[in-house]
Amino acid sequence: MRIVHLCLSGPYTDNWGYQENLLPLYHAKAGNDVSVIATGFSHEPGGGLILEEPGEYVLDGGVRIVRVRQGRLLTRRIGFAYGHHRILGVLNRLRPDFIMMHGLLSVTALQAIVYRTFVNRRCVLVADTHLDSYNAPMGTSGMRHSTYRLSISILGWLYAKNCRDLFGVTPDCIDYAVRRHGIPPARFQLLPLGADSDGIVFARQEELRLSVREKYGIPASNFIVLSGGKLDAAKGVRQLIEAVGSSNLDGVTLVLFGSVSDDSADGFFDAIGRYRDRVKYVGFLSLDEIYGLFLAADLAAFPGSQSALWQQAIACGLPAIFKWWPGIEYLDLGGNCVFLADPDSDSVREMIERLVSDPDGLKQMASVARREGIRRFSYRSLAAQVLG
């Protein structure tokens, strides 16, 4: 089957561990001819953006990437606001039998409806949404923004009418789309973010526990609390550093990985410097390196905004502490994690101390995560769910 993923609502970075990278990869692993039509923007390792030249190339996993440049829609500014790209010619050339539209906001996806209507009536359309009440760009008032919000709602309704299936990556995303676009909740399925299950090798766990500690100068017997991603204020990383740094526990090391924005850098590195004996920052890592860390660690802690790393940590068998968000209970697979409603440094420290002091309870949490995490969050099964 010829499958096209439309990733035109934001930057697309080759070989990262996001949904738009791994769903196409697992569709290709299943023997399909897979293409991703993506914007020209991609992330640098440090988190900045670069603009790629339009073009076409094939990644090692067999996924074809088609980079397109943003176009005008009456004006360039309007084209940018609605994420407009000219892709109908690309669709006509690729002739997909199945199109997944990543996001309900892009006016570009209307061209997929045109393609299905006039070129290939048998083509199946599906769409997902990642927007929720926290990250949706809908907070500004005024006539211009009211018009924008109305037009976005109309687009959402139109995609719902023409798509076989609609997916939300969290229950809150589904709730937001229902409220914002008026789409019946029965039209949605939960399609959580997941993990590259082929890259998680539990047989190497003991080896990785030793090699990771040796690599980063951590005593072999130390308990590792792990966190990462975009290390800014929204992720609660300063509270986590303070929590571990001020704890009464011996032999506990906090390991942080990921990107640090310029506006967060001074405070972040100052906090690490105060607790350098207990906190390690290991920089920006590849997906394989991240999974190696997950398999070597003892506890994951994410006391801030949601991240694609959450499901990956669970799939790697890690007990976890998460900040509570509406609908987030789906991450609890039977006792693998705990939620904190208001995770300041004191409550995070108390929870970490409680879990570290209960090795039998922590072992049970890890057992649930290892048993159920891959089953629920493997991109192999999620990719199959998308195809129906």
Q: What is the pLDDT of residues 208-249, one digit of tens each?
A: 999 999 999 999 999 999 999 989 888 999 999 999 999 988
The values of phi and psi at residue 99, to 5°, are -125, 130
pLDDT at 141 over 80: no
Q: Using pLDDT thresholds of 50, 70 and 90, give the confidence band for residue 274.
A: very high
Percent of the residues in the chain that have a pLDDT greater than 70, as a whole number:
92
Mean pLDDT over each residue of the chain, to the nearest integer: 91
Structural domains in the chain, CATH included, are: 2-191 (3.40.50.2000), 198-377 (3.40.50.2000)
Q: Is the pLDDT of residue 74 over 50?
A: no
pTM over 0.85: yes
Question: How is residue 388 written in tokens?
Answer: 């129906």
Question: Which string of b and e fits 15-32 if b means at least 16 CB within 10 Å?
Answer: ebbbbbbbbbbbbbbeeb
Residue 277 CB contacts under 8 Å (≥ 6 apart), including other chains? none
Beta bridge partners of 3: 34, 98
Of 302, 342, 340, give the one whose Cα is nearest residue 318: 302
**CB-hemisphere CA count at 13 Å for 140?**
7
pLDDT of residue 73: 52
Give me the pLDDT at residue 320, please: 98
Q: What is the pLDDT of residues 174-188, one digit of tens each?
A: 999 998 888 889 999
Token couple for 21: 């990278």
Contact criterion met (CB below 8 Å) for 255 and 225:
yes
Q: Which of 31-35, 262-266, 283-287 has the lowest mean pLDDT?
A: 262-266
Quickly list DSSP for 288-349. Answer: HHHHHHHHH-SEEEE-SS--THHHHHHHTT--EEEE--TTGGGG-SSSSEEEESS--HHHHH
Record the tokens describing residue 214, joined without a space: 């040796």
